[in-house]
Structure formats: C-alpha cells, structure tokens
Amino acid sequence: MNADRIAVLYRWIEYCAFGKALERRRFAFLPLIREARNVLIAGEGDGRFVARLVEQHPGVRVDVLESSGEMIRLARQRLPPDAQVTFHQGDAMQTPPGGPYDLVVTHFFLDCLSDEETGRFIRGVKQHLSFDAIWLVSDFQQVSFWPASWHSWIWLRVMYAFFRLSTGLRTAKLPQIDRALSGAGFELVAKEEARFGLTVSQLWRLRPKGSQL
C-alpha cells in the first residue's frame, strides 16, 4: 500500500471517524516502557507516536520503518532537532535495520498484513530483539459478542474498503495477531480495549527461553 495520497489528511480522517480514540490506544502504555532504549517502529504514519515517545523518553534511539515518503516528511516535522530517530523508507517486511531492540511498536500496522505476512514479520523481527524485549501493539479487532460484533463488523469493512481504494491495500481482513505473537514466543502482559472492543492496546513480552506456557 502507498499512503502518500492521504498522508496530509490522514490525521483529520482519523479524527472524523474516531475522534482521538486511536491516539489514546497508541499512547495507552507509554508509562510502562520507561526502560526502552533501542526501539523499532513499523508503520509509524505521520509521527504522532514517535514524537510523544521521544518527548517522554529522552535519549531513546528509534528506527522507523515506513513505506510512505510523505508520512516520513510529516513525522520529521514533529520531532525536535536532537531526536535520535532514523527513518527507513521501504517495505517493512524486509530485514530490520539494526538491533538488538528492546521495544517493538506496531500501531495499526499489522492489520495491513495477511496472516502469513504477520507471522513472517514477527518471526523476522524477533531475530533482532533483546532477550526480554517488549512488543507494543495497538490495532482493531473483530468482536465476537452481540451487538458489539455488528459494530466492529461494519467498521472493519468500511475501513478496509476505504484503504483499498485510497492506498491500494490488498488485505481484506484482520490477521490473527494474538496467535502470531503467542506462537513466536511472546506472552501478553497488559491489555486495554475501547470502542465496544473494536480497538485494543496490548503489551507483549518475549518469553525467556525454556519457560513454560
């Protein structure tokens, strides 16, 4: 997908649809990641999260994987001159640029991938993590209980249709993010839901080798 066409308007499109609900999901667990020093962010978008991360955690070093040059331009404008943030424009499915990372951030990014791509991305990134790394996720989810299930079903189809038309997104349904992270050796340590369960923030930690599920 290529978000260049909607980059300038993306924040306002998001606000019109959800207010600041998605920002609250992105920022939900920032107080819990104070120890992060070497961070990988995939699909940062217009820079609202990385700007807040740098503001609250001075000295953090960040690699950002982002396919949209226009999103990168907007994100750079939000950062202070001394921010240790390096942008890498290209396919986030490629090999991460550095490491070892103690924090990975994927906010509303994995929903753009298929199940196969999600699993492959997580396994690839895992090879570049420290032994106790944290994975911070914010994303959408399909709710199973009625009537909230109809709310999420409608919103997900509207959003996938919009991004398919505006960015060329090929994915048409959510991947099984929880299963992919758990299968790669991560355990869920914190979770918050909002919008009748449509949006979720999660904090996952890499399980030590040899630990039991």
What's the alpha-carbon Rg for the chain, to the nearest Å?
Answer: 16
Residue 27 — very low, low, confident or very high, per pLDDT cuts 50/70/90? Answer: very high
- Domain of residue 61, CATH code: 3.40.50.150
Residue 213 lies in a domain: no
Residue 150 lies in a domain: yes
Query: What's the token pair of residue 132?
Result: 């106790």
First and final CA of the chain: distance in angstroms? 36
Structural domain of 57:
4-206
pLDDT at 210 over 80: no
pLDDT at 213 over 50: no
Task: Answer for the pair 163, 154: CB distance below 8 angstroms, yes or no.
Answer: no
Domain count of the fold of the chain: 1
Residues contacting 105, CB < 8 A, separation 6+: 39, 40, 41, 42, 44, 49, 53, 135, 136
Residue 77 lies in a domain: yes
Q: What is the mean pLDDT of residues 64-76?
A: 97
Residue 173 lies in a domain: yes
Tell me the pLDDT tens digit for each residue of 99-128: 899 999 999 999 999 999 999 999 999 999
Residue 25 lies in a domain: yes
Task: Give the model's pLDDT for residue 127.
Answer: 95
Residue 212 lies in a domain: no
Please give the single-letter amino acid code of residue 35.
E
Residue 148 lies in a domain: yes
Looking at the DSSP bridge assignments, the partners of residue 66 are 89
DSSP state of 209: T
Task: Answer for the pair 63, 97: CB distance below 8 angstroms, yes or no.
Answer: yes
Tell me the pLDDT tens digit for each residue of 171-205: 999 999 999 999 999 999 999 999 999 999 999 99
pLDDT at 60 over 90: yes
Residue 211 lies in a domain: no
Number of neighbouring beta carbons within 10 Å of residue 143: 21
Q: 129-132: long-range contacts (C-beta < 8 A, 24 or more apart)?
A: 129/99, 129/100, 129/101, 129/102, 129/104, 129/206, 130/38, 130/99, 130/100, 130/101, 130/102, 131/206, 131/208, 131/209, 132/102, 132/205, 132/206, 132/208
